[in-house]
Chains A and B, each alone.
Chain A
Amino acid sequence: MKKQYAFLVDSERCIGCFTCAMACRNYYHQEEGVVWRQVYPLSEEIYPHRERAFLSLACNHCEDPACLNVCPVNAYTKREEDGVVVHHQEKCIGCGNCIRSCPYGAPKYNPVEKRAEKCSFCHERLDAGLKPACVQSCPTKALQLVDLAEMQQTNQVQYPAGYPKMEKLNPSTRFILPKTPKMVRR
Chain B
Amino acid sequence: MASKKLLSRRRFLQGVTAATAASMLPCRLLVPGTAQAAGFDQNEFQVFRNACPRNCYDTCSIKTYVKDGVIQFIEGAPESTYTDGGLCVKGYSYTRRPYSPDRIKYPMVQDGRRTGKWRRVSWDEAMDRIAGKIMELKERDGSLLGLGMTKYSGNFGITNYGVEGLMSSLGYTTRFVGTPCWPAGIDAQNYDLGNMWCNDPEDMVKARYVIIWGANPAWCSVHSMKYIMEAKRRGAKILVIDPVFTQTAAKGDVFWQPKTASDGALALGMARHILDKGLVDRAFVENNAQGFEEFAAYLRENVTVEWAAEQSGIPAEEIREVAEEFAQADPATIWIGYGMQRHTNGGASVRSIDALVAMTGNVGKEGGGARYGHLQTWGFNYNAFIQKQPEGSVGFTGPAAKGEFDLTEGRQASYSDRTVNINKTAQAILDTKDPAIRMLWVSCKNPFAQDFDRPKLEKAFDTLEMVVSVEQFFTETVANSDIVLPVTTLFEEWTVNASYWHYWLSINEQAIKPLHEAKSNLEIGAALSRKMNELAPGSCTLPTEIDTREWTAKEFNQGIYDLFGINDWTDLKNGPVKAKLASSAAWHDMKFGTPSGKYEFRSDLCAEHGHKALPEFKKGRESYDKFRLLTPHTKFGIHSQFVNLDWMKEYNKEPFVYMHPKAAAGKGINDLDMVRVFNKVGEQKARVKLTDNVTEDCLLIYEAWFGKGTTFNVQNLVDDESADMGAYKAGAPGVAIHDQFADIERA
Contacts and interface: CB of A to CB of B under 8 A. Distances in A.
Nearest to A18: B89
A72 to B, nearest CB: 14
Interface in B280-325: 312-315, 318
Interface in A110-136: 110, 112-113, 117, 120, 122-125, 127-128, 130, 133, 136
A26 B29 contact: no
Contact of B251 (A15, A28, A33, A136): A15
B666 to A, nearest CB: 19
B250 A181 contact: yes
Contact of B689 (A22, A50, A52, A91): A50
Given A23-B87, A130-B40, A185-B695, A88 B9 contact: no
Interface stretch (A57-65, A99-107, A137-145, A169-177): A137-145
Contacts of B738: none
B19 interface: no
Bin the interface of chain A by size. Answer: 35 or more
Contacts of A74: 33
Given A15-B218, A29-B12, A130-B40, A186 B695 contact: yes
Contact of A49 (B29, B240, B258, B691): B691
A157 B578 CA distance: 40
Contacts of B88: 17, 19, 139
A15 B220 CA distance: 11
Interface in B372-388: none
Interface in A143-186: 178, 180-186
B431 interface: no
Interface string B643-687: 000111011000000000000000000000000000000000000
A8 interface: no
A26 B95 contact: yes
Nearest to B318: A184
A127 B92 contact: no
Interface in B70-92: 73-76, 84-92
Interface stretch (B103-111, B221-229, B443-451): B221-229
A114 to B, nearest CB: 10
Interface string A36-53: 001100000000011111
A19 B636 CA distance: 10
A115 B226 CA distance: 39
A66 interface: no
B646 A51 contact: no
A124 B39 contact: yes
A106 B512 CA distance: 35
Given A19-B89, A33-B650, A184-B255, A127 B37 contact: yes
Nearest to A112: B9
A131 to B, nearest CB: 8
Interface in B9-31: 9-12, 25-31
B1 interface: yes
B247 A16 contact: yes
A73 to B, nearest CB: 9
Contact of B693 (A49, A91, A184): A49
B38 interface: yes
B33 A75 contact: yes
A186 B693 CA distance: 13
Interface of A: 13, 15-19, 21-23, 25-29, 31-33, 35, 38-39, 49-53, 74-75, 77, 86, 88-91, 110, 112-113, 117, 120, 122-125, 127-128, 130, 133, 136-141, 178, 180-186
Given A39-B651, A181-B250, 8 more contacts: A17-B219, A21-B651, A22-B647, A50-B689, A127-B37, A137-B76, A186-B259, A186-B314
* Closest 6 A/B residue pairs (Cβ): A186-B313, A127-B39, A128-B39, A22-B92, A15-B218, A128-B40
17 contacts: A22-B92, A25-B95, A26-B74, A49-B250, A50-B689, A51-B691, A88-B33, A90-B32, A91-B33, A120-B29, A125-B39, A128-B41, A128-B42, A139-B225, A180-B250, A181-B254, A182-B253
